[in-house]
Chain A
Amino acid sequence: MTRALRLWIAVGWVGVLILPWYAIDSSFWYFDWYLKYDGDNAPTAHQIFAQGRWYLAPPVLALIAAMPALFMHRDSRRLSRLLVAAGIAGMALMLAEGAAIDHRGWSWAWLQALMGGEGPKQPGMGYGALVLAAAFLMLMCQGLAALGWCRGDAFIVSAVALVVALVGVFVFFPVFEVLLSALQDDKGNVALVVFFEKFLDHSVWGLDCLNSSLRCGVAWNTVFLAVVVGAGSTLFGLAFALIATRTDFPFKGLLRVMSVLPIITPPFVIGLAMILLFGRSGVVTGFLNEWLDIPRSRWIYGLQGVAIAQLLAFTPIAFLVLIGVVQGVSPSLEEASLTLRAKGWKTFNTVTLPLIRPGLANAFLLGFVESMADFGNPLVLAGNYEVLATKIFFAVVGASHDQGRAAVLAIILLGFTLVAFYAQQMWLGKKSYTTVTGKGDAGLAVPLPSGLRWLCYAAVIPFALLTAAMYVTILLSSFWKTVGRDYSLTFEHYLTGFKVEWGERGLYFGGSAWNSFWTTIEISAISAPLTAAIGLLTAYLLARQKFAGQRAFEFCTMLSFAIPGTVIGVSYILAFNVPPIELTGTGVILVICFVFRNMPVGVRSGIATLSQIDKSLDEASLTLGAKSFTTVRRVVLPLLRPAIVSSLVYSFVRAMTAVSAVIFLVSAQYNMSTAYIVGRVEAGEYGLAIAYSNVLILVMLSAILLIQFLVGERRLGRRQPQQAMVVVQAGG
């Protein structure tokens, strides 16, 4: 009998006796569920006894069964076994009850036949159910800890169980629902024939483009685009990385700016800028038409347009990966090669390149996955060139409204990205040639051989100019009346979106964008701390604790990174549209979506920071009598401050730029900026779309600059070239 145990049993009773069992329509904090203490608003105890909802009783019985624990000795094994049994039974009964009855009655045909009639109906679970489930989970953890799991540390057991439960419900359950929905026909029966028909459909796997003028299947289109973009962004990224680290290029500051841009640019903005520059009525197209008589065309729509837009969008990501890898090559290795009479090219080929090869593979896979998951650019630019991400979207929202087909396509897309993710984890995980050691490396980076240097410049300078042109276009076109026709300057677009007036009741946000803007800020601001919390907790469990199944745990938590946003969107619709968990149309589903999509960011930054903190600090705290929770609070958290700040800001920013998953989940009440902008683009209101994008970029840029200012950049214990020059001068 411990304090934690008493607390969780009490929490369980709060869920049973006080909180409304089912989801309520209005906000919790209005407390009108308490005033209307009947019907679906009542706590489960009232539902069972006053309303005859007997099927809610079994979980409560499990809680009652756990009560004898209050009178047992804290070290007895019977106590631990009772807690584990009651916790598991409680959760299982809740699960069974929730799955058995939905908003239409009995969920399963055999249950209908057995019980007769269509049976009782119930809405989705609410706060009471949530609290009771949490109590069961924690009671189970208390029991497991007492049985010696995780060295008997209840905090660690609880943390692991919490993360597993959350990832299970909000990542695995939806993906499972997609699989299920793909295997079922419209009536909900398992229909493998239908599945294979859809799966092997000619429109998916057809290879007509090889020997005729017809188009290939959407799966091949997607893979081809992804390979082109992966390879291209890796090569350009390498060129940028080499220039940034191995030359005395005078504008290196600009490269840093470029590396920040993709983080703060909503993914479709590049595509939009492409249209404004090269579209039929684009700036460049118009110029060429007027001065060189080149006819206006729609060449930008299709594979080439999407590929260029994605290259522009994802090369900075490859650059960020590769600059770390190139910097990580210890200069003393190259110096060793040079002293062994290998000339510049030879050293680059035989030492540098092999050492960065895993980094190249990593960058390629990242570009590959990003291209596959990208939704915004294909939506804007693909024209008749179909890719999976957009095809899934149109299968759900389009005229066909075929969720089964969307699910099948989602499985194919998920299959591709999971293979890439698996390759990255398994193959590259074992092959990291990290050559930065703890000791300061005295060597100086070897300059590039001149041929290679010029090649890099030839790749990078046009690329950088194009990028610059894009962003100038994005900035300017928000002030042009109509791109292609009327270049007179105007604030009209900003006023449409963001007009603020003095009305009768003070400030009145009249602009059409304000609604979605505030929603976006609110949802992002709510999800950021949650993302950081669960991400860092997971990082702590991975980096600082040892428990059975840790590898599997790590793989599961990183998995949501590999699931394309479109798939997440579809899966959330399929999983959370009906009881037992009914969330669509709420703000909660957006928050949850962001938390679990962005959690790996927090995990990575947490692990990176923790690996720099000596583990004996934790151990010192433990030997001084602090339990692991106290150690986390007083030692680990204060030292993790940089990781906390950065994961807060990054999850905030990523929530603001997300579009692929969000576009499925927004509702009239909770509309997000990106979804709103995509709507404007589809309606042809480019001016407003671009103006809105600029506002978003500005907001996010401020956030990024704040973090750069607060955290600063990582330093390697290595001599800077300038210092070396001073030494040479002093010596000479």
Chain B
Amino acid sequence: MAKSASSVEFRNVSKRYGAVAAVNDVSFTIEPGTLVTLLGPSGCGKTTTLRLIAGLEMASEGQILIGGRDVTRLSAAERDVSMVFQSYALFPHMTVLENVAYGPTVSGVPKAKAHEMAREKLHVVGLKGFDARLPSELSGGQQQRVAVARALVLEPQVLLFDEPLSNLDAKLRRRVREDIRDLQRTLNLTVAYVTHDQQEALAVSDRVIVMANSVIAQTGAPRELYEQPASLFVSDFIGDANIVEAALGQHQGDTAPVSIGKVEKRLKHRGVKPGKVKVAIRPESLLLMGSRPNAPALEGRVAKAAYLGTHMEYTVATELGEVFVVDRAVDRPLKPGVEVFLGLGDHGITVVPD
């Protein structure tokens, strides 16, 4: 790429519609050449944030910088940013080539040169020989690649994706996801990517910004988010988690003893004061046993059981309430009503500050 990748920075940005804030006092930085996901449930403000970067919405307060330059007051046409829309937004009255060449054409590049640039990008996304087709004559996956080529053709400082996989069928999603990641790495692009699918976010990103109720709930690398969720919301939203009550003992260094039912574990206290705390336990960290083990364990009874091919899913009623357990042992299924014991694994259990 001719241009080097640029950073995106939000400084205390808010977007209000009347009294309602869609984005409330949000600050973050996207480092150059990284792929950052905006993740959250619908209505959390993630798409508005993306549109604020694009200039399709104007910030009510705060500053937006792209490549260190203040673009807060610039319109979409004046920002060096391209977007791949959820619906792809391919112009139905133009051919594939005309669609991709649109950006250079409207900025005054001669037609021949614009078409040459467009063909180059179509080649990059692996769509050769489709130049003269209309968008309606392409499959969903192909349409999306045209949309990506069209967004790339101006070699923007930042590329934005708005739920790019939502209109594709399940099988295609993994492939397109990997294609986008490869493209981002080979072209060294700065990418902001909106999704509501936490698995997709974990798989594709350098960093994830989790949003809830118009504010940022947590920012971090995928592993950080999964292993050290900052709040109950994040622990539950990223993957599945059983939230149980526990008692935290005196701090010793950065760990502390935690009593979860009859079981005691040494966990990172993460700055939480001794006393009653909430602990998040991943379903795969509850180890299911048919007979009483020697070490202390949680006691319970299977309430529901489901077979999912690769694993079993159980709901177990314990003294801590109902918990959700994933068990790899599909050849030894347990029936509802059976008494079971639950041990605690070494990973996937964390104190949640709240």
Q: Residue A577 at the B interface, CB < 8 A?
A: no
Minimum CB–CB distance from B104 to chain A (whole Å) comes to 9
Complex Cα spacing A620 to B102, Å: 10
Minimum CB–CB distance from B6 to chain A (whole Å) comes to 15
Complex Cα spacing A630 to B54, Å: 18
From the candidates A614, A624, A639, name the one contacting B93 in the complex (CB within 8 A): A639
Complex Cα spacing A638 to B98, Å: 14
Q: Residue B107 at the A interface, CB < 8 A?
A: yes
Q: Residue A68 at the B interface, CB < 8 A?
A: no
- CB <8 Å contact, B85 and A634: no
Q: Residue B76 at the A interface, CB < 8 A?
A: yes
CB-defined interface of A613-654 with B at 8 Å, one 1/0 digit per residue?
010110111111111101000110011000000000000000
Complex Cα spacing A623 to B76, Å: 5
Closest to B92 in A: A639
- CB <8 Å contact, B83 and A625: no
Closest to B86 in A: A616
- CB <8 Å contact, B89 and A625: no
Task: Label chain A's interface by main secondary structure.
Answer: helix
* Across-interface contacts of A624 in B (CB, < 8 A): 82, 102-103, 106, 150-151, 154
* Across-interface contacts of A153 in B (CB, < 8 A): 75
* Across-interface contacts of B83 in A (CB, < 8 A): 619-620, 623
Q: Residue A544 at the B interface, CB < 8 A?
A: no
Q: Residue B330 at the A interface, CB < 8 A?
A: no
Q: Residue A39 at the B interface, CB < 8 A?
A: no
Q: Residue A415 at the B interface, CB < 8 A?
A: no
Task: Label chain B's interface by main secondary structure.
Answer: loop
Minimum CB–CB distance from A634 to chain B (whole Å) comes to 7
**By CB atoms of chain B within 10 A, which of A151, A153, A622, A623 has the most?**
A623
- Residues of chain A from 119 to 159 with CB closer than 8 A to chain B in the complex: 148, 151-153
Minimum CB–CB distance from B94 to chain A (whole Å) comes to 8
Number of A-B contacts (CB under 8 A): 72
Complex Cα spacing A638 to B89, Å: 15
- CB <8 Å contact, B154 and A152: no
Closest to B56 in A: A619
Minimum CB–CB distance from B59 to chain A (whole Å) comes to 11
Minimum CB–CB distance from B347 to chain A (whole Å) comes to 42
* Across-interface contacts of A625 in B (CB, < 8 A): 77, 103, 106-107, 154
- Residues of chain B from 40 to 99 with CB closer than 8 A to chain A in the complex: 54-56, 58, 73, 75-77, 79, 81-83, 85-87, 89-93
* Across-interface contacts of A152 in B (CB, < 8 A): 73, 75
Complex Cα spacing A620 to B85, Å: 7
CB-defined interface of B110-133 with A at 8 Å, one 1/0 digit per residue?
000000000000000000000000
- Residues of chain A from 176 to 220 with CB closer than 8 A to chain B in the complex: none
CB-defined interface of B219-235 with A at 8 Å, one 1/0 digit per residue?
00000000000000000
Given contacts A151-B58, A630-B106, is CB(A622)–CB(B76) below 8 Å?
yes
- Residues of chain A from 570 to 628 with CB closer than 8 A to chain B in the complex: 614, 616-617, 619-628
Complex Cα spacing A619 to B55, Å: 10
- CB <8 Å contact, A634 and B58: no
- CB <8 Å contact, B77 and A622: yes
Minimum CB–CB distance from A63 to chain B (whole Å) comes to 29
* Across-interface contacts of B87 in A (CB, < 8 A): 614, 616
- CB <8 Å contact, B93 and A151: no
- CB <8 Å contact, B75 and A619: no
- CB <8 Å contact, B81 and A623: yes
From the candidates B90, B93, B103, name the one contacting A638 in the complex (CB within 8 A): B93
- CB <8 Å contact, A622 and B75: yes
- CB <8 Å contact, A623 and B106: no
From the candidates B58, B89, B93, B150, name the one contacting A619 in the complex (CB within 8 A): B89
Minimum CB–CB distance from A73 to chain B (whole Å) comes to 16
Given contacts A622-B77, A624-B82, A627-B77, is CB(A617)–CB(B89) below 8 Å?
yes
Minimum CB–CB distance from A710 to chain B (whole Å) comes to 16
* Across-interface contacts of A151 in B (CB, < 8 A): 58, 75
* Across-interface contacts of A628 in B (CB, < 8 A): 77
Given contacts A625-B154, A639-B93, is CB(A619)–CB(B73) below 8 Å?
no
Minimum CB–CB distance from B95 to chain A (whole Å) comes to 13
Interface size class of A (residues with CB under 8 A): 20 to 34
* Across-interface contacts of B151 in A (CB, < 8 A): 623-624
Minimum CB–CB distance from A72 to chain B (whole Å) comes to 19
Minimum CB–CB distance from B239 to chain A (whole Å) comes to 31
Minimum CB–CB distance from A600 to chain B (whole Å) comes to 27
- CB <8 Å contact, A619 and B77: no
* Across-interface contacts of A623 in B (CB, < 8 A): 54-56, 76-77, 79, 81-83, 151, 160
From the candidates B77, B89, B103, B150, name the one contacting A614 in the complex (CB within 8 A): B89
Minimum CB–CB distance from A615 to chain B (whole Å) comes to 9
* Across-interface contacts of B154 in A (CB, < 8 A): 624-625
- CB <8 Å contact, A617 and B103: no
- CB <8 Å contact, B56 and A622: yes
Minimum CB–CB distance from A683 to chain B (whole Å) comes to 53
- CB <8 Å contact, B89 and A616: yes
- CB <8 Å contact, A148 and B56: no
- CB <8 Å contact, B91 and A635: yes
Minimum CB–CB distance from A169 to chain B (whole Å) comes to 31
Closest to B108 in A: A625
- CB <8 Å contact, A626 and B92: no
Complex Cα spacing A620 to B91, Å: 9
* Across-interface contacts of A639 in B (CB, < 8 A): 92-93
* Across-interface contacts of A638 in B (CB, < 8 A): 93
* Across-interface contacts of B79 in A (CB, < 8 A): 623
Complex Cα spacing A622 to B154, Å: 13
* Across-interface contacts of A635 in B (CB, < 8 A): 91
Closest to B105 in A: A634
* Across-interface contacts of B89 in A (CB, < 8 A): 614, 616-617, 619-620
Minimum CB–CB distance from A77 to chain B (whole Å) comes to 13
Complex Cα spacing A624 to B155, Å: 11
- CB <8 Å contact, A617 and B91: yes
* Across-interface contacts of B73 in A (CB, < 8 A): 148, 152
Minimum CB–CB distance from B113 to chain A (whole Å) comes to 15
Minimum CB–CB distance from B296 to chain A (whole Å) comes to 54
Closest to A620 in B: B89
- CB <8 Å contact, B55 and A634: no
Complex Cα spacing A626 to B102, Å: 9
- Residues of chain A from 638 to 684 with CB closer than 8 A to chain B in the complex: 638-639
Minimum CB–CB distance from A39 to chain B (whole Å) comes to 48
Minimum CB–CB distance from B103 to chain A (whole Å) comes to 4
- CB <8 Å contact, B82 and A626: no
- CB <8 Å contact, B85 and A616: yes
Complex Cα spacing A456 to B82, Å: 58
Closest to A617 in B: B89
Given contacts A624-B150, A625-B106, is CB(A619)–CB(B85) below 8 Å?
yes
Closest to B103 in A: A624
- CB <8 Å contact, B86 and A619: no
Complex Cα spacing A638 to B107, Å: 19
Closest to B17 in A: A546
Complex Cα spacing A622 to B82, Å: 9
Complex Cα spacing A327 to B211, Å: 42
Complex Cα spacing A261 to B106, Å: 45
Minimum CB–CB distance from B317 to chain A (whole Å) comes to 38
From the candidates A148, A619, A630, A634, name the one contacting B76 in the complex (CB within 8 A): A619
Complex Cα spacing A241 to B81, Å: 51
Complex Cα spacing A625 to B104, Å: 8
Closest to A634 in B: B106
**By CB atoms of chain A within 10 A, which of B58, B81, B91 has the most?**
B91
Complex Cα spacing A628 to B83, Å: 17
* Across-interface contacts of A630 in B (CB, < 8 A): 106
- Top 5 nearest A-B pairs (CB, nearest first) are A624-B103, A620-B89, A622-B76, A616-B89, A626-B106
Knowing that A620-B83, A620-B150 touch, tell me 4 more A-B residue pairs with CB under 8 angstroms.
A621-B106, A622-B76, A624-B106, A634-B106
Query: Can you pick out 24 interface pairs between chain A and chain B where the beta carbons lie within 8 Å of each other?
Result: A614-B87, A616-B87, A616-B89, A619-B89, A620-B85, A621-B91, A621-B102, A622-B75, A622-B76, A623-B55, A623-B77, A623-B81, A624-B102, A624-B154, A625-B77, A625-B107, A625-B154, A626-B77, A626-B103, A626-B107, A627-B77, A634-B106, A638-B93, A639-B92
